[in-house]
Structure 1
């Protein structure tokens, strides 16, 4: 009865064996993140039955005892944010590629800590009698939605051998002609982050005269940004609109990012994301006006949308005449890191007929005297030298792979 049940479950009576193999490994981070490729040593235990029969489907377990590198000294990696997948090579009496995959399960991994990868599992249906060797091959580490690919850089020794005997009726068995085997779980999804390029038509500035008017609506302008974060550089284009409401001699400004909704690859707690932007003055006036958004009021779950909220500030004119307002440098502070985004080029969104006010903007940065203030202050770097902005908007997630890190973000169109 036991043997029959074992056969039904694809389990053999042969005792399981485990053997460790160590091999040099070359790991490649996602392209475009400016991080070096990694050379390290992978150590793996492969567990499989010592003996089995033709026709049996055997379970194989790949256990990482050492990953090819540590977590870089950039960011703490959250729990359950890393998933490995890979390929195991069967050779000898039977040739096959066995797909292996592990669950997205890991403890929190601090900066500089050892990478901890879950056990990968797969199955192999045996089709021929003889010795079948099992050798680990390439693997992929998916962390926070991005992939690092690791391949052996030397010949790898077999880590386990299954002795396969002829089973009853094996002479009439029809082996799988492809010799392939599939994992019991699907491969981890490929996640390449891509910025959405705006298709909003180029718009000229909204020219407005006061004449008793108090509300002024700017044109939507497409602004190409280069973003610089601690983890690298990336480009993105966002449609932006600057609106104003007259309040005495000053103007309350509202800056809206029309395509800055992103999916977060990690859980972000409430109160951890803060954007700030400099509105550039031109025409009759000079200087910049700082506008700011609120901290995120609620926690943002992994894979849920994030958006840059409306940024607000106060513009006190420093000159009389037609003054223009254009999007400038955007700074985002999130999860203890700062990303600075500088426009590759800018465009006028709003033109106002202004009257000079005491202590107004002309010739200087008006943010210190007339824009809304924030507690804590943000590091405002790169405002004058095109220091790049990499992941337009809220670090939609820092992703640290096996020794590599990259910002990922997925812009979406604002729904309201």
Structure 2
């Protein structure tokens, strides 16, 4: 959840007005929901009914709780797939008006009953906090909201009002203690109702700018990266492609860096039972800034068999980057490759996926090392880190067969449905 306007998750800062009488009012407004692009479905037109709850009164300097209860979502679960328990998570924005302006970011837990086909979507109650900065009447109005579904893979349906929405609650604010300098949480600074994000903060020698992590000097050895959403185009193998957050982290070892790359857990579901050792991932990390080329990272195959329809997670991938140039070097997730082996001794089926959208996950302040590469092509060391992970990919076997499979799994994304998984013909291979 991101901070916006005057809304910040303050972690207990300020005064919570639990004893102040709260108010709730239901507001209904016309809504348009946009399914994910990969679903190829048109926008959904409907109505959303929301109850906003907030204290009736407050004082300047107080921090108050705001809640959003979705009485009725704009769209139903389509008549295609039943949604499992606890796979839906909502988030949204409440517009702050009147004496104070801004936005409260609210979010609910991933909590829902099973939602059958062609039935109403059920969204958990969303909550946020508002720092009261000005006296007068402050209005709270429901605005955009997002439905995040984590079943087979994680995706979002975004909904927004299509008419002027009435305020759902009003807080009468008396004069009180003053606030100065704003509030800072996770790099977002709020001052007088305006929010500035992407500011730089420094912790233990690592500087975060706009969410990207920069590895500085001063004896620091661990450099955590930020998660960036990456969209992969796998051609006809995976209709619609794959979208997953990817995080690159580094640990300095002498002049080199041991890299660890993580993708989303349970990003897809297995359409059939898969044996141990069936899936083995690898990825190219693109270098930018002072250095260039790519570093290959690899992960081990699944150690345990994967039951039919069970969540599938790619293993964490590791590799070593040896800088070839001195300066600031950016690391960006690039091509993903999944090798599929259905039986011992069988040649792996190579599934290459090109990153069509990506972003910088990590920035390192490097010093050139002997043997380091700063040229195009494969840069740095592609050797796996501790654990002896072997490289995978087309370079390991020039005779790897091309994959031409048919999608066989249906995925529901809030109000959208799309097909995924290129596995059907693997049954013949096995």
TM-score, length-normalised on structure 2? Answer: 0.50
Tell me the secondary structure at the aligned position of residue 32 of structure 1: helix
Q: 1:134–1:160: 8 Å Cα contact kept in structure 2?
A: yes
Which structure is higher in RCO with an 8 Å CA cutoff and minimum separation 6?
1
Aligned 8 A contact 1:24 1:39 in 2: yes
Q: Which residue of 1 aligns with 2:7?
A: none
Q: Secondary structure at the match of 1:150?
A: strand
Aligned to 1:225: 236
Q: Is the 8 A contact 2:274 2:342 kept in 1?
A: no
Structure-1 residue corresponding to 2:193 = 179
Q: CA deviation at 1:35?
A: 1.2
**Contact 1:84-1:102 within 8 A present in 2 as well:** yes
Q: CA deviation at 1:410?
A: 11
Structure-2 residue corresponding to 1:344: none
Q: How far apart are the structure 2 equivalents of 1:74 and 1:174?
A: 52
Match of 2:415 among 375, 384, 403: 403
Confirm or deny: 8 A CA contact 2:231 2:241 kept in the other structure.
no
Give yes or no for contact 2:53–2:169 (8 Å, CA) kept in 1.
yes
Q: 1:128 aligns with which of 134, 137, 154?
A: 134
TM-aligned CA distance change 1:177 to 1:30, over 3 Å: same
1:264/1:300 contact within 8 Å kept: no
Q: Which runs of 5+ in 1 are unaligned?
A: 1-5, 183-188, 198-223, 228-232, 237-260, 274-295, 313-326, 328-347, 352-387, 412-416
Residue 106 of structure 1 corresponds to 112
Deviation, structure 1 residue 407? 4.2
2:178 equivalent to 1:166: no
1:19 alignment partner in structure 2: 25
CA drift at 1:405: 1.9
Check 1:271–1:302 CA distance in 2 against 1; reply closer, same or farther (3 A cut). Answer: closer
Q: CA deviation at 1:270?
A: 7.7
Secondary structure of the corresponding residue to residue 234 of structure 1: coil
In 2, the alpha carbon distance for the partners of 1:45 and 1:67 equals 12
- Once the two structures are TM-superposed, the CA of residue 403 in structure 1 deviates from its matched residue by 1.5
Which residue matches 2:164? 155
Does 2:262 match 1:265? no
- The alpha-carbon distance between structure 1 residues 410 and 105, as it changes in their structure 2 partners (threshold 3 A), is farther
Shift of 1:264: 3.9
Q: Which residue of 2 aligns with 1:330?
A: none
SS at match of 1:124: strand
Query: Residues of 1 paired with 2:240 and 2:63: CA distance?
Result: 47
Q: What is the SS of the residue equivalent to 2:100?
A: coil
Alpha-carbon distance change, 390 to 88 in structure 1, aligned in 2, over 3 angstroms: farther
In structure 2, the gaps of 5 or more residues are: 1-11, 183-189, 197-225, 243-262, 276-304, 315-337, 350-397, 424-430
Which structure would you say has the larger Rg?
1
Checking the alignment, whether the CA contact within 8 Å between 1:89 and 1:135 is kept in structure 2 is yes
Distance 1:263 1:390 in 2: 24
Contact kept? 1:48, 1:58, Cα under 8 Å: yes
What CA deviation, in whole Å up to 9, does each residue of 1:58-78 have, x standing for no partner?
A: 001100000011100111111
Matched, 1:51 2:83: no
Q: Does 2:283 correspond to 1:304?
A: no
Task: Give the TM-score taking structure 1 as reference length.
Answer: 0.51
Instruction: Check 1:139–1:166 CA distance in 2 against 1; reply closer, same or farther (3 A cut).
Output: same
Q: Distance in 2 between matches of 1:410 and 1:125?
A: 49
**1:83 correspondence with 2:89:** yes
**1:113 deviation in Å?**
1.3
Provide, for residues 97-149 of structure 1, a one-character-per-residue CA deviation record: whole Å limited to 9, x for no partner.
11111111111111111100011000000000000000000011111210111
1 CA distance for matches of 2:306 and 2:13? 56
Match of 2:208 in 1: none
Counting matched residue pairs gives: 253
CA offsets 1:36-88 (integer angstroms, 9 cap, x no match): 21001000010000000000000011000000111001111111111111111
Matched with 1:69 is 75
Structure 2: distance between partners of 1:192 and 1:108: 28
Deviation of 1:194 after TM superposition, in Å, equals 3.8
SS of corresponding position for 2:78:
coil
TM-aligned CA distance change 1:307 to 1:19, over 3 Å: farther
Change over 3 Å in CA distance of 1:307–1:25 after alignment to 2:
farther
CA positional deviation for 1:190: 9.4
The 1:173–1:408 alpha-carbon spacing in structure 2 relative to 1, beyond 3 Å, is same
User: C-alpha distance in 2, partners of 1:124/1:140?
Assistant: 20
Give the whole-Å Cα distance in 2 for the aligned partners of 1:181 and 1:49. Answer: 23
1:96, distance to aligned residue in structure 2 (A): 1.1
The answer to whether the 8 Å contact 2:77/2:119 transfers is yes
Shift of residue 31, structure 1, vs aligned partner: 0.9
The Cα of 1:300 is off from its aligned counterpart by 6.5
